[in-house]
Structure 1
Amino acid sequence: MSGYPADPAIRRRLADTALAVVVGALALTAAAFDADTATVDYALVAVSSAVLAFCRAAPRVVLAAATASGTAYLLHAHPGALAALPVLAAVLTAAQLGRRGWAAVASGVYLTACIATGSTTQEALGKAGLLAGWFLCMVVGGLADRNWQAYLRQTEQRALEAERTREEAALRRAGEERLRIARELHDSLTHSISIVKLQAGVAVHLARKRGEEVPPALLAIQEASGEAMRELRSTLEILRTDEPTGTPALLVERARAAGLAVDLTVAGEERPLPATLDRATYRIVQESLTNAARHAGPAKVRVELAYSDDDLTIHVEDDGTADPDRPPEPGHGLTGMRERVTALGGTLAAGPRAEGGFSVRAELPLRAGDSV
Structure 2
Amino acid sequence: MDGSRITRERLVDAAVAVVVGAIVVLVARAGGRSGSVDLALIAAGSLALAARRTAPRAVLAVTTACLLAEVVHAGPSAVMALPVVGAVHTAGRSGYRGTAAAAAAVFLGGYAAAGSASASVAREALLLAGWFLCAVVTGLADSNWQAYLRQTEQRALEAERTREEAALRRAGEERLRIARELHDSLTHSISIVKLQAGVAVHLARKRGEEIPPALLAIQEASGEAMRELRATLEVLRTDEPTGTPALLVERARAAGLAVELTVTGEERPLAATVDRAMYRIVQEALTNAARHAGPAQVAVRLGYTDGELTIDIEDDGTADPSSPPTPGIGLTGMRERVTALGGTLDAGPRADGGFAVRARLPLGEAA
| TM-score when normalising by structure 2 | 0.65
User: What's 2:205 paired with?
Assistant: 208
Q: What is the aligned partner in structure 2 of residue 350 from structure 1? A: none
Partners of 1:232 and 1:91 in 2: CA distance = 72
Please name the residue that 2:141 is paired with. 144
Runs of 4+ in 1 over 4 A off after TM superposition: none
Q: 1:64 aligns with which of 61, 64, 67?
A: 61
1:49 Cα shift? Answer: 1.0
Superposed counterparts of 1:281-300, under 5 Å:
none
Q: Indicate if the aligned counterparts of 1:20 and 1:52 stay in contact, CA closer than 8 A.
A: yes
Please, which of 66, 79, 83 is the counterpart of residue 82 of structure 1? Answer: 79
The equivalent position to 1:168 in structure 2, one of 153, 165, 169, is: 165
The whole-number CA distance in structure 2 between the counterparts of 1:169 and 1:24 is 55
- Cα distance in 1 between the residues matched to 2:18 and 2:219: 86
Alpha carbons 1:179, 1:240 under 8 Å: kept: yes
Pair 1:79–1:125, CA change in 2 (3 A): closer
Given the alignment of the two structures, is residue 180 of structure 1 paired with residue 177 of structure 2, yes or no? yes
2:72 is the counterpart of 1:55: no
Task: Tell me, yes or no, if structure 1 residue 221 matches structure 2 residue 211.
Answer: no
- 1:184 and 1:228 mapped to 2: Cα distance? 16
1:106-125 map, 5 Å: 106-125=103-122
Q: Which of 123, 128, 132 is equivalent to 2:125?
A: 128
1:142-189 Cα shifts (integer Å, max 9, x gaps): 000000111111111111111111111111111100100000000000
Could you say if the C-alpha distance between residues 272 and 21 of structure 1 is closer, same or farther in structure 2, counting changes exceeding 3 Å? closer
The letter of the residue matching 2:43 is: A
Structure 2 vs 1, CA of residues 194 and 122 (structure 1 numbering), >3 Å: closer, same or farther? same
Asked if the contact 2:76–2:111 (Cα under 8 Å) also holds between the matched residues in 1, the reply is no
User: Which AA in structure 2 matches 1:222?
Assistant: Q
1:35: how far off? 1.3
2:70 corresponds to which of 62, 68, 73: 73
Query: How much has 1:13 moved relative to structure 2?
Result: 1.1
Separation in 1, partners of 2:81, 2:11? 23
Question: What is the Cα deviation at residue 242 of structure 1?
Answer: 3.9
Matched, 1:233 2:238: no
Of 91, 95, 98 in structure 1, the residue corresponding to residue 95 of structure 2 is 98
Q: Secondary structure at the match of 2:222?
A: helix
CA distance in 1, matches of 2:98, 2:4: 31
Shift of 1:76: 0.5
Instruction: Tell me, yes or no, if the aligned pair for 2:112 and 2:125 is still in contact at 8 Å.
Output: yes
Q: Report the CA distance between 1:124 and its aligned residue.
A: 2.7
1:23 aligns with 2:20: yes
- CA shift, 1:31, in A, is 1.1
Structure possessing the higher radius of gyration over alpha carbons = 2
Residue 29 of structure 1: CA displacement? 1.3
- Paired residue total: 250
| Separation in structure 1 between the aligned mates of residue 240 and residue 13 of structure 2, nearest angstrom | 47
Q: Which amino acid in the other structure matches residue 196 of structure 2?
A: Q
C-alpha distance in 1, partners of 2:60/2:129?
17
Note the 1:267-286 alignment, pairs <5 A: 269-271=266-268
Q: Over residues 307-362 of structure 1, what are the superposed CA-to-partner deviations in whole Å (9 max), with x where a residue is unaligned?
A: xxxxxxxxxxxxxxxxxxxxxxxxxxxxxxxxxxxxxxxxxxxxxxxxxxxxxxxx
Cα root mean square deviation, aligned: 2.0
Structure 1: tracts of 5 or more residues without a match: 245-267, 280-363, 365-372
Distance in 2 between the 1:230 and 1:43 partners?
87
Deviation at 1:221, TM superposition (A): 0.2
Paired letter, 1:131: L
Counterparts of 2:116 and 2:92 in 1: how far apart (Å)?
32
In structure 1, C-alpha distance between the alignment counterparts of 2:120 and 2:267, rounded to whole Å: 74
